[in-house]
Chains A and B, each alone.
Chain A
């Protein structure tokens, strides 16, 4: 795929979420880049992320993934991995089941699934947790599982919603390194939403600031 192309292209969208609304917002993220979307609480960054995922309908404008218009496409077939804020792990499943979930839904054979589960567990350093349930996992461990679940089916785009905001400083640092690592190993185009400037500067190739309903893009050296 041509790296000059935009993997994520949010083209002049308007979204309404309850009493809150965003008008005519645009954002472009080139293939393989790590984009960080920054903004204050309540500025609408999660709303934009949800539009990219397809979980929130846009009232006007288009969303393109790899130059393909997905505005009306069901979230299940967009091929976008999602890590929500608190992980939203499935409380009745083991870590192993989390990593295998998407592959089972996609009818991947069990041998390939097992291979993928172990590959992911190794990358995210959660091999020792495979038989545990979410109950009793630490904040960092939960986020690793959520990340593994989102990456499991090799999505073209990864959406992270404040993945580090609930973590203590030390765990946050480890997770930053891990995210760096994941980017190097997978090359997945990532859109990461946060309100933390350190995190943004540390990780971003492209930095987007959402202020007063407008996005201002800068590239991070």
Chain B
């Protein structure tokens, strides 16, 4: 639409209007570009998982090709079953499940008070503390492991070093020292999203600080705690660098799933490594589903 010619020059719209078609085309291009750029990454994630599965299926089919009972062979001879049949892998699976859960539980126990203090209170050195809590996140994992190893040379840690270093406790400590930083971040933002007025009201109603925390803040933070637990758990499951240095990679002793992948690769057993990777993918997905459904149920109340 152009301005009627009867209008005086002062009232005429400046410049030239673009045609609706050109605007529409430009908008469509804009969103196409966004989708393509963003989609590439999603595609990469999905393709990686598919490749693992495809590799697995291919190996299974090859194994069952010449067998008289292809179905039975497919079930017994596929790389995941073979891996799970290996007592070493079974051990590392159990150790992973137990150590990750322990590390995640301890992380949440530490992260709740830490996150609460950071989100609610001002105190000297708060910015410094906040920066210190980022160290495990930004530090190269190998350095975390090495630092832990060095730390256990000094008392009082040195006194218990014999029963920790290169043993199962070292696995949990190494996983905890990194995973906890993520849990603290999550809990801090959880508490920041809870209205401090609620606590203040509870206090005017006669609550002590502990009662207000226990009855008002914690129930409101339960979803955040679940998220912090999942994040810490997943982080602990993938931990490898600090473990290798601080806990070692001894089979049937300090071997967790990520170590298994590494050890299988080392002896040239790609099939085994992929199988263990898929076990980890499955474990991660199960934890994700459990916490998501828990979270949704909590949300509806």
The answer to whether the Cβ of B195 comes within 8 Å of any Cβ in the partner chain is yes
Q: Would you give the shortest CB distance from A86 to chain B, in whole angstroms?
A: 7
Q: How far is the CB of B77 from chain A (nearest CB, A)?
A: 51
Known: A102-B206, A133-B301. A91 touches B201 (CB 8 A): no
Asked if B202 is an interface residue, CB under 8 A from chain A, the answer is yes
Interface: B216 (CB within 8 A): yes
**Closest approach, in angstroms, between the C-beta of B212 and any C-beta of chain A?**
9
The answer to whether B206 and A90 touch across the interface, beta carbons within 8 angstroms, is no
Asked if B198 is at the interface (CB within 8 A of a chain A CB), the reply is yes
Contacts of A105 in B (CB 8 A): 205-207, 211, 215
Q: Chain A contact residues: over half helix, strand or loop, or mixed?
A: loop
Which residues of B are found within 8 Å of A153, using beta-carbon distances? 205-206
How far, in angstroms, from A106 to B211 measured CA to CA in the complex?
Answer: 11
Residues of chain B with a CB closer than 8 A to A150's CB: 201, 204-205
In angstroms, Cα B205 to Cα A150, docked, is 7
Contact A55 B207 (CB under 8 A): no
| Residues of chain A contacted by B206 (CB below 8 angstroms) | 76-77, 102, 105-106, 153
Instruction: Tell me what chain B mostly uses at the interface: helix, strand, loop, or mixed.
Output: helix
Q: Is B301 a contact of A92 with CB atoms below 8 Å?
A: yes
Q: Shortest Cβ distance from A57 into chain B, in angstroms? A: 13
Interface size on A, residues (CB 8 A): 29
Interface size class of B (residues with CB under 8 A): 10 to 19
List chain A residues, Cβ under 8 A from B52. Answer: none
Rounded to whole angstroms, the CA-CA distance of A211 and B215 in the bound complex is 39
A172 interface residue (CB < 8 Å to B): no
**Least Cβ–Cβ distance between B193 and chain A, in angstroms:** 11
CB <8 Å contact, B204 and A55: yes
Say which residue of A54, A88, A106 sits within 8 Å of B201 (CB atoms).
A88
Question: 1/0 per residue A97-124: CB within 8 Å of B?
Answer: 0000110011000000000000000000
B195 close to A88 (CB less than 8 A) = yes
Shortest CB-to-CB span from A115 to chain B, Å, is: 18
Answer whether residue A80 sits at the interface, using C-beta atoms and an 8 A cutoff: yes
- Is residue A78 within 8 Å, beta carbon to beta carbon, of the partner chain? yes
Residue of A nearest to B218 (CB): A92
Closest to A79 in B: B206
B200 close to chain A: CB less than 8 A: yes
Q: How far is the CB of B191 from chain A (nearest CB, A)?
A: 14
Provide the bound-state CA to CA distance between A67 and B217, in Å: 34
- Tell me which residues across on chain B come within 8 A of A81, comparing CB atoms: 204-205
Q: Do residues A90 and B207 form an inter-chain contact, with CB atoms below 8 A? A: no
- Compute how far the CA of A105 lies from the CA of B214 in the bound complex, rounded to whole angstroms: 12
Beta-carbon contact of B204 and A75 below 8 Å? yes
Is the CB of A207 closer than 8 A to any CB of chain B?
no
From the candidates A54, A76, A86, A91, name the one contacting B220 in the complex (CB within 8 A): A91
- Cβ of B110 within 8 Å of any chain A Cβ, yes or no, is no
Residue pair B204, A53 in contact (C-beta under 8 Å): yes
Q: Which of B256-301 contact A (CB under 8 A)?
A: 301
Residues of A within 8 A of B133 (CB): none
C-alpha gap A102/B215 in the complex (Å): 11
Asked if A149 is at the interface of the complex by the 8 Å CB criterion, the answer is yes
CB of A82 closer than 8 Å to a CB of B: yes
In the assembly, what is the distance between CA of A135 and CA of B216, in Å? 16
Establish whether residues A149 and B220, one from each chain, have CB atoms under 8 Å apart when the complex forms.
Answer: no
Q: CB distance B216 to A76 under 8 Å?
A: no
In the bound complex, do residue A92 and residue B197 qualify as a contact, i.e. CB atoms below 8 Å apart?
no
A88 to B196: give the CA distance in the assembly, Å: 9
Residues of chain A with a CB closer than 8 A to B84's CB: none
Is B219 among interface residues, defined by CB-CB distance under 8 A?
A: yes
In the assembled complex, the CB of A102 is this many whole angstroms from the nearest CB of chain B, namely 4
The reply to whether A80 and B219 contact each other, CB–CB distance below 8 Å, is no
User: Pick the contact of A90 from B200, B203, B216, B222 — CB < 8 Å?
Assistant: B216
Structural contact, A76 and B204, CB atoms closer than 8 A: yes
A138 CA to B57 CA in the complex, in Å? 56
Pair A84/B207 contact, Cβ less than 8 Å: no
A-B contact pairs, 6 of them (CB 8 A): A75-B204, A92-B301, A105-B206, A135-B301, A146-B201, A150-B204
Interface residues of B (CB under 8 A from A): 195, 197-198, 200-208, 211, 215-216, 219-220, 222, 301
Given contacts A81-B204, A90-B219, A101-B202, 14 further A-B contacts (CB under 8 A): A53-B200, A55-B204, A81-B205, A88-B195, A88-B197, A89-B198, A90-B216, A91-B220, A92-B219, A101-B205, A105-B211, A106-B206, A146-B201, A150-B201
